């Protein structure tokens, strides 16, 4: 076998290995979040889905946010129009968390229907939207 063929085979092995590592890394780190409607359908189809780590993305229901400063507990409801879930989070919420903001909640759904969040991510659209022209 000549040097050109060896180089081509070696290059193909390296490129294939790097491609496989990239694909498997993206598959492991890319995690889709559910909407409340999708979550309720998933629970209806599989009743053992409780207490499983997941992400749920939705809008905070206006007027549902309560804060307990002493215990750093935040409770609120998330909804997507057809389903809603109560959420409780212990810790400091992000600075951009307000009433009716879009959030992604990481946590576990309990059998009582409450999501115990371990992380809350809030979207801040006002910083990125163009100012309306008068």
pLDDT, tens digit (0-9, with 9 covering 90-100), for 28-77: 556 678 999 999 999 999 888 888 889 999 999 999 999 999 999 999 99
Q: How far apart are CA 63 and CA 122, in angstroms?
A: 17
Beta bridge partners of 117: 89, 107
Its pTM stands at 0.70
Tokens 């809030």 locate to 122
| pLDDT of the residue at 127 | 53
Residue 37's pLDDT is what?
A: 93
Query: What are the residues whose beta carbons fall under 8 Å from the beta carbon of 114, sequence distance 6 or more?
Result: 85, 86, 87, 88
């Amino acid at each position: 076998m000549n040097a050109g063929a060896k180089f081509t085979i070696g290059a193909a092995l390296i490129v294939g290995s790097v491609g496989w590592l990239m694909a498997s890394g993206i598959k492991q780190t890319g995690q889709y979040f559910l909407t409340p409607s999708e979550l309720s359908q998933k629970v209806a189809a599989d009743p053992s889905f409780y207490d499983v780590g997941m992400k749920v993305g939705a809008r905070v229901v206006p007027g549902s946010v309560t804060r307990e400063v002493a215990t750093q507990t935040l409770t609120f409801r998330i909804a997507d129009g057809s389903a809603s879930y109560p959420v409780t989070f212990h810790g400091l919420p992000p600075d951009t968390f307000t009433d009716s903001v879009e959030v992604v909640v990481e946590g576990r759904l309990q059998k009582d229907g409450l999501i115990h969040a371990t992380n809350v991510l809030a979207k801040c659209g006002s910083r990125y939207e163009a100012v309306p022209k008068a």
